[in-house]
Amino acid sequence: MALITVDDGFCKGCGLCVDACSAHIVELDSSRITPKGYHPAHCIDEEKCTGCASCSLMCPDVAITVWR
Q: How far apart are CA 68 and CA 53, in angstroms?
A: 10
Report the SS3 class of residue 6. strand
- Residue 65 near residue 5 (C-beta atoms within 8 A): yes
User: Class assignment of domain 3-67?
Assistant: alpha beta
- Residue 66 near residue 55 (C-beta atoms within 8 A): yes
pLDDT tens digits, residue range 11-59?
Answer: 999 999 999 999 999 999 999 999 999 999 999 999 999 999 999 999 9
> Would you kindly state where each structural domain of the chain is located, as residue ranges?
3-67
Global pTM value: 0.91
